[in-house]
Amino acid sequence: MAKIDHYLRSNLKLRHLQLLVTLDEMRHIGKVANYLNVTQPAISKTLADFEEGLNIKLFDRTTRGMLPTEAGVCLVKYAKKILNEIASARDDLVAISEGRATRIAIGLLPAVSLSILPNFIARVENEMVSTSINAREGSSDVLISLLRTGELDVMIGNLAAKPLGIEFRTKHLYKDPIVVVVKKAHPLVTKQDLTWTDLSEFPMVLPPEFATTRIVIEEFLLCHQVNLSKRYVESLSTLTNIGVLLATESIGFLSFQLADYFKKANLVDILPLTMKNIYIDIGLVWYTERTLTPSQLNIISMLEDTVCISNLK
């Protein structure tokens, strides 16, 4: 215990942390050496000195490459957090030096990229000229992991996904129903007395299996006697989904806000089939232990106001 404490306080360098993270990602000393632009012996010596200083083995050489030990996994986790915090400090210092007093990193689902973010950014630019916004799009699971590591300050995600830990705080914004979408010239657009079973004849564009919406959509379709096509595309990308719908006779499932945006652009139609109680519960999520600045809290308040002004509630 005393040796570990002394080494971490007196001898730990950023290069040690960078080496740990890179080795964990690449699992091969040669690749790490090329990436960090140093020799393989230098990598091996740095790792050996690090392990000797801690008196703990951090990586095992195996036929599958360099695998982290239990201690290695632990240290890599904290190394990522430290490096991310340093990167955030660097970005904040650059922002201050350039006269941009506030910087906030926001993660968001594809479903809200067109319904909230453009109007929100327009408002921020009008009211807070000294603000830098970093927006990252992804699935809820990916965004949550970025919140944990400090790469995001807040996310706009699906609160109906799997329960979050007590380390997160949430705030509901609005519910966005899932609707059935096809291209303008699709045969079902003009079909009289359209029923759910009519969907069985066409391929589909579905969320990936890991997405919360995939499970509820499939269960709903099965309950309404829809034969799920073996011809389907799994995608979380809005542009990919719209591109496939336009190029084929596939049937897609989008949030109403997204579908309405592309309908107004005269690209798709929303079929008159209601998916009762199938929706995305859009809300804010942030990490409880990470203190937000007054300016960042103000930005979160502006996000909520943007939802109200856009009549999304």
Structurally, how many domains does the chain consist of? 3
pLDDT at 229: 67
Give the mean model confidence (pLDDT) for residues 12-24.
88
CATH code of 264's domain: 3.40.190.290
For residues 229-256, average pLDDT: 90
CA-CA distance, 12 to 6, in Å (whole number)?
9
Least Cα distance to 56 among 44, 68, 66, 40 occurs for 68
CA within 13 Å, CB half, 178: 22
Distance CA 290, CA 270 (A): 41
140 belongs to a structural domain? yes
In a domain, 96, yes or no: no
Do both 291 and 164 map to the same domain? yes
pTM of the entire structure? 0.63
H or E element that contains 156 = strand 154-158
What would the pLDDT profile of 35-91 be if each residue is shown by its tens digit?
Answer: 888 899 988 998 888 888 888 899 998 888 889 999 989 999 998 888 888 887 787
Q: Which domain covers residue 286, as residue numbers?
A: 101-174+282-311
pLDDT digits (tens, 9 = 90+) for 90-129: 877 776 666 555 677 889 888 788 878 888 888 877 776 5
Judged by DSSP in three states, 139 sits in: coil
Q: How do strand 65-68 and strand 59-62 relate by DSSP bridges? A: antiparallel
Is the pLDDT reported for residue 266 higher than 60? yes
Nearest to 211 by CA among 112, 280, 285: 280
Task: Round to whole Å and give the CA distance between 139 and 210.
Answer: 9
Mean pLDDT of 10-20: 85
Q: First and final CA of the chain: distance in angstroms?
A: 54
- Kindly state whether residues 133 and 206 are assigned to the same domain: no
Q: Are residues 224 and 190 in the same domain?
A: yes
